[in-house]
Amino acid sequence: MFTRIGAAAYKKDLHNTVHLLDAIGNPQHRFRSIHIAGTNGKGSCSHMLASILHQAGYKTGLYTSPHLYDFRERIKISGQKVLDMVPKDFVTAFTQKIKPEIEKIEPSFFEVTVAMAFDFFAQEQVDIAIIETGLGGRLDSTNVLKPELSIITNIGWDHINLLGDTLDKIAFEKAGIIKPDIPVVIGETLEETLPVFLKMAAKSNAPVLLAEKTWIATQAESSMEMLHLKMESLQTREVLWIACDLPGIYQKKNIATVLTAVDILRNQGWQISRNDVLSGLKNVKSQTGLWGRWQVVDKNPYVVLDVAHNEAGMTQLIRQLNQMQLAGSFNKVHLILGMVKDKEADKVLQLLPPSYRYYFTQAQTERALPAETLRIQAQAFQLTGEAYAKPELALAAARIAAAPDDFIVVCGSIFVVAEIERLVG
């Protein structure tokens, strides 16, 4: 329902989740976990940590949202070589099992999915599960855990109609995942948000580690398909030369967050070697199936998919494009853009350069902002281009117009990225 209609499907309490979990024996108490919230970066951090822990030999669960193509992408578990999606027969059997409870309390899609994931991880006896919040934190369906570690990646302007219209209000909602005596890593702080985190952590006696004060990238170089970093620990002066297959230069902040989390896990007794970290980060995509983060799907010209969809995410994406364009990696940028109605389009549009060629489009969902509406809004920011009723039509037009040394990027909505990924990924 949230995928289709947005905010109207959001439920601001944990009663249904607690009811469902009670009905199936509270599986959330039968596995260890790491809980991750944040405006941007929580998906990347979740997959990085899952890749590292899988590499270290731990049976690892991974719960994330949304999915690009298959619902089962949301729930994964360590297989022989990679994290495999939950089997179809488990999904159907679980749904049948709790059908009476669904009919009784009418839970949301998120609430059912969280219960399904937790039941699966408990039955499979995972060593640890990485759990990403869906929306916010305090009232998110996942916030029934007592994790080994909590992580808040950053705070930005997203879902303000649900989480609050100031950064400190949004931070308060995200900080709701902080638990008594459980350490929390804060990936990125702002003047408005740091006091909120420190106050919440102090109330819960939760140790706070700021990733920005723990690990720093002293060298960074991004190619089309790999990110190379020199990371230095500000505590021990340890140096790591990292190659990561998530090539966005903005990933250096997420990697600092992940390395800080690994330090805490090691102190708690988890056996994670230096090689586990390096290999895990080098193979995030292949080991966890993470898509849509600077995902190269074609060359000559390059076509890249990125799920950047809000102000903070788009700022990072444009910065990456500008750096690579200045370095001569490509000539002209062709940007395929689609958004949803409940995002503040103007905040994204004002960041985009008029020098790009634009292809405005819409995904096939009720939440999609009509392509023609987006095109008209974009004109106020001197962004010019045509409107296309479907993402595949926008991509076809961009491919016709682009020279071999140009660059095509698809962004603005995970739904648009998903439709293109199905077509060419």
Return the percentage of the chain with pLDDT > 90, whole number. Answer: 72
Buried/exposed 20-48: b ≥16 CB within 10 Å, e otherwise: bbeebeebbeebbbbbbbbbbbbbbbbbb
Nearest alpha carbon to residue 254 among 346, 340, 187: 187
DSSP type of residue 294: S
Q: What is the mean pLDDT of residues 14-42?
A: 95
| CATH number of the domain located at residue range(s) 2-288 in this protein | 3.40.1190.10
The residue type at 333: V
Query: Whose structure tokens read 């159907």?
Result: 92
- Confidence at residue 163, expressed as pLDDT on a 0 to 100 scale: 55
Confidence of residue 276 (pLDDT cuts 50, 70, 90): very high
- Confidence at residue 12, expressed as pLDDT on a 0 to 100 scale: 64
Rounded CA separation 26/401 (Å): 55
pTM: 0.89
Architecture, CATH, for domain 295-424: Alpha-Beta Complex (3.90)
Rounded CA separation 256/273 (Å): 17
Q: What is the mean pLDDT of residues 195-199?
A: 90
- Confidence at residue 33, expressed as pLDDT on a 0 to 100 scale: 98
Sign of CA dihedral 138, 153, 77, 95: positive
- Do residues 338 and 368 make contact, with C-beta atoms less than 8 angstroms apart? yes
Radius of gyration of the chain (CA): 21
- Confidence at residue 140, expressed as pLDDT on a 0 to 100 scale: 85
Is it the case that residue 6 has pLDDT exceeding 80? Answer: no
Is it the case that residue 257 has pLDDT exceeding 90? Answer: yes
How much is the mean pLDDT over the chain? 91
Confidence of residue 7 (pLDDT cuts 50, 70, 90): very low
* Token duo for residue 197: 């985190």
Domain boundaries, the chain: 2-288, 295-424
- Confidence at residue 1, expressed as pLDDT on a 0 to 100 scale: 45
Q: CB-side exposure of 363: number of CA atoms within 13 Å?
A: 26
- Do residues 306 and 249 make contact, with C-beta atoms less than 8 angstroms apart? no
Is it the case that residue 204 has pLDDT exceeding 80? Answer: yes
Buried/exposed 282-298: b ≥16 CB within 10 Å, e otherwise: bbbbebbbbbbbbbebe
- Confidence at residue 425, expressed as pLDDT on a 0 to 100 scale: 61
